[in-house]
Structure 1
């Protein structure tokens, strides 16, 4: 599916750079190329969502309680998605590759250790977000500082993991690599909080990426409708910060839309009531 129209203004491909997939220049019929490319697409979903957070955060006034709450909720759902992914990698994926793929032992060791490098920073971000939601507070400078604290190791991990997954080619066990990956996907879906993860995934999965050659995410055609009209309701206000529509088409970021510009201009700390005259 080719991109229909370029979104207006700055988009969610910055400041953190998206990852090229191995399948950009190689056939996706190769199991290892497919698995590594799928992982890159998952990581890009995380990156687009984080980019949207980073771009919108400094534009929201602390006094704009409604909009700041929506962005913090978006952050909360983003953490849930990333945490689910990494927890399932640690519980199943890394060990399954090493134990079930002859010759794979040690290949992914670096990626396992990398989780420790961003764990504390991501946990601090989650703690701040959940605390701010509970208190009804908002500090964009602190939010951005916390992101800066974990983003370096996280982006390094996102990129490095694709390289090490491609090293599984050395084993010559492509079919078994694909089987482990398919089991990993089943486990992720089993533990998912659909109200958080469903919209977050679809609204940041650009189906036009790399010329639209990637069928990601793969799901029955009715699912986007179900997520849009039913599942997304619980955290409805948060989804305005998505970078795509529910069908994977890039959209103009909220901050660049007429509605977004009006909402961002609101400062509820200002007293707009007419002063009484004596």
Structure 2
């Protein structure tokens, strides 16, 4: 170990993305959906950073084995998110607007990092706990710029879709996004992937706490179930997340 006391998670090497609502103060549906997208992308970024920071610190095979599961869950989460955009979200936006290809630019951006995501998945599946942190970080470095560039550019592109929503042909962007998002969740995804999404969301301090207990939109018992009970399954894997269930960043696991 580099230290007997693991350091706190920090937002590097990738920086976080501001939400359009925080930047503009607007509260229309497109700004809100774009902000939800930015918050989701920030969870992917914290997941990336948490892998990047902890990989070189691992020494024990049991830690490495759990960590491989964490990394593969991150890959699954990011890839599933972008595939659902291509198969559900974007086509339904086009349908509502009566236009084609409104988000084709985002799809081309996906293609720029899909190769790297495939490489990291295959590498970890092949190596398992025998992976080299140096090799893992080299793969991550190979696609981090196109990934980060896309994660930054997509929320403003979502906000800009407001220009295509008219009184004659309104686009209910929040309903479209909610319906599309539900289609990507099944029991396997909920227990083996979703915690990496929710537990990489820092909401207590980010943007002055304006999203704390607002996004993800869970209240009461449902919030406890999603953020505390479900992560008990595969808990050794989820110890590598960047945030606690209360929305604060936490120390690294190792």
TM-score interval for Structure 1 and Structure 2 normalised by the shorter chain: 0.7 to 0.9
Residue 34 of structure 1: aligned partner = 32
Question: Where does structure 1 lack aligned partners over 5 or more consecutive residues?
Answer: 1-7, 255-259, 261-278
3-state secondary structure, aligned to 1:29: coil
Identify the match of residue 172 of structure 2 among 165, 173, 176: 176
Q: What TM-score comes out, normalization by structure 1 length? A: 0.80
Q: In the TM superposition, what is the alpha-carbon distance from 1:243 to its structure 2 partner?
A: 1.3
Q: CA deviation at 1:39?
A: 0.2
Superposed CA offset, 1:158-215 (max 9, x none): 1111121121121235752222112122223347611122321221111121011121
Q: How far, CA to CA, are the matches of 1:81 and 1:192 in structure 2?
A: 12
Match of 2:16 in 1: 18
Judging changes above 3 Å, is the alpha-carbon distance between structure 1 residues 33 and 142 closer, same or farther for their aligned structure 2 residues? same
- Counterparts in 2 of 1:107 and 1:12: CA distance versus 1, 3 Å: farther
Assess, with a 3 A threshold, how the Cα gap between structure 1 residues 182 and 223 changes in structure 2: closer, same or farther: same
Query: 1:192 and 1:47, CA in 2 relative to 1: closer, same or farther beyond 3 A?
Result: farther
- Residue matched to 1:276: none
Shift of 1:253: 2.6
RMSD over aligned CA atoms reads 2.1
How many residues are paired up?
243
Residue among 43, 53, 56 paired with 1:55: 53
Mapping for residues 1-278 of structure 1, pairs under 5 Å:
9-27=7-25, 29-61=27-59, 64-102=60-98, 105-133=100-128, 136-173=129-166, 176-190=172-186, 193-208=189-204, 209-214=206-211, 215-227=214-226, 230-254=229-253, 260=254
* Residues 179/28 of structure 1: CA separation in 2 closer, same or farther (3 Å cut): farther
Give unpaired runs (5+ residues) of structure 2: 1-5
Structure 1 pair 125–31 and aligned structure 2 pair: CA distance change class (3 A): same
Q: Whole-Å Cα distance in 2 between the matches of residues 164 and 228 of structure 1?
A: 30
How far is 1:28 from its partner? 5.7
TM-score (norm 2): 0.87
Distance 2:227 2:84 in 1: 26
Which one has a bigger Cα radius of gyration?
1
